Amino acid sequence: MAASRIPTVVSNPWTKLRDYTPARIALGRSGTSLPTKPHLDFQLAHARARKAVHHDLDIETLGKDLAAQGRDVIVAHSAAADRPTYLQRPDKGRMLDEASREALIALPKPAEPYDLAFVIGDGLSALAIEENAARFLATLMPQIERAGSRVAPIVVVKEARVAVGDEIGEILGAAMVVVLIGERPGLSSPDSLGIYMTLNPRRGLTDEARNCISNVRKEGLSYAGAAHKLWFLMSEARRRNISGVNLKDEAEDLPQAVGHSQKNFLIDTD
């Protein structure tokens, strides 16, 4: 009698759940190890995450994209002189270098104070900025312009942490600052954009003063959805004179696009 063949790769009974998440679940096994394909997929994802962290922001292309939208752009640099310093000294990424500070202070003052300042920082994923920042602003800005808000020139900062926006907002005299920054890459999301909004920005604020909208990218929160949430938070911040932990995101969700899956794996019986 012929010996029975034992499969090299053993499937996981929860494999169906992978239809609902890019997370590495139900990968199966080969003996006591991962099968070759998911092992190689992991190595590729890890390489992409490392590349995103060390990727140098293409400021020239970003500036052209923003200029095409009619935005004035100022380029600045944090006190972290290079990427290794940025990664090892987060405090330096939270402040401007002296030349950038002096350049912003020397800008002509507006006739009336700015209502809003935008800061774009490379953060831990310049790739996220290149993929999403200009596209998100193209979605958001028409609503801001219809409201008649006075918007400062956009400041693009190299080697930036979120808190550098506080110093920039304070120097520009803006009532509110919105920081677009590349988030720490995940193994399934090397291109995720984070948005932080702070009312009355000034040096010395901590994270409890900010509201955050996360995972803005093609495979995550849509530009329209993020703009909808940010507009709600900005409107409520102005109306109630609060931001951060005192201001909750109570924006209603946008209607789902036609054809978007609304399946729930807990009740799906297919």
pLDDT at 177 over 90: yes
**pLDDT, tens digit, for every residue of 91-132?**
999 999 999 999 999 999 999 999 999 999 999 999 999 999
pLDDT at 263 over 60: no
How far is 114 from 16, CA to CA, in rounded Å?
51
Look up the pTM and report it.
Answer: 0.87
Lowest mean pLDDT among 6-20, 81-95, 172-186: 6-20
Confidence of residue 31 (pLDDT cuts 50, 70, 90): confident
Residues in CB range of 199: below 8 A, 6 or more apart: 175, 176, 209, 237, 238, 241, 242, 243
pLDDT at 269 over 50: no
pLDDT at 63 over 70: yes
Pairing mode of beta strands 117-121, 73-77: unpaired
